[in-house]
Amino acid sequence: MLVSGFSIASKADDYSGIKKSISTILPGKKVDVISPSPVDGVYEVVVGARLLYFSENGQFMLDGDLFDITERKDLSAPVRENARAKVVTDAVAKGGITYKTKDEPKYKVTVFTDIDCGYCRKLHNDMDGYLNHGIEVSYLFMPRAGLQSNSFRKAVSAVCADDPNKALTELKNGKTVADKSCDNKIADQYNLAREIGIRGTPGIITEEGKIFPGYLPPDTLLQRLKK
C-alpha cells in the first residue's frame, strides 16, 4: 500500500522527514532503525516489529514486501524476522515464563499460548520431549477470548504465582490455582501477538523470528529448527 501526503523537509543526516512522518502515522511509537534499502532513495524503517519503506524526505511510504525479481528473493522477510525476534525476546525478558533445558539449550523458541486452548495443552504435555531435544521453551500469553476472559485471569494467576512454572503446568492440566494478581505484561503480550501476525494458538516463534503456526510435536519441531 503506497501512502502519500506528507510534504516535509528532510535532513539526510538525521532522517527528520521520515521521523516526523512516523510520529504522524504511529504516534507514540519509537523508530528503532532507519537504513538504506536495496532501492535507491528508499529507506527501511523498523518500528517495533513493523517494517515500512519511506522516501528520504518522508513524503512517500510503502507498507508491503520488497522483492528482488532477478534473484527471486523476498528482501523484506529477513528484516521483518530480525525485528520480530528482537521484540519477542524483549517481551520474554520482561514477563515470560521459561522452561529450561538441563544443559545449555541447542535451540530456543517462544510460544504464544492460551491456557484453555486444546493444542496449547497438548504442546505443554510434550514439554519433556522438547526439553530432552535441547529446545528451551518460553511462553507469552495470547488469551484468544480477550483481556476480560477467564483465560486472561488464569494467565495472570500463573505469572503472579510464587512458582509460575508449576502454576502454569497445573492450569494446563485442568487444575485450579489460587487467584492472584500483580503487575504483569499479559495485555502487552496479547497486543504484541496481534502486531507480529499471530492468528491462533499455539504460535511458535524461533530465535530467528520465524513463525511456525500451530502445534508441532517435539520431533517435528526439532527437524524444523534444524533446517
Residues that are catalytic: 114, 117, 120, 144
CA distance 61 to 216: 37
Q: Measured between alpha carbons, how far apart are the two ends of the chain, in Å? A: 33
Which residues, other chains included, contact 217 with Cβ-Cβ below 8 Å and sequence gap of 6+? 126, 129
Task: Show the beta-strand stretches assigned E in 5-160.
Answer: 33-36, 42-47, 50-55, 60-62, 67-68, 73-74, 97-99, 107-113, 135-141
CA distance 84 to 112: 13
Q: Name the nearest CA neighbour of 6 among 77, 57, 45.
A: 57
Neighbours of 180 (CB within 10 A): 15
CA distance 63 to 209: 19
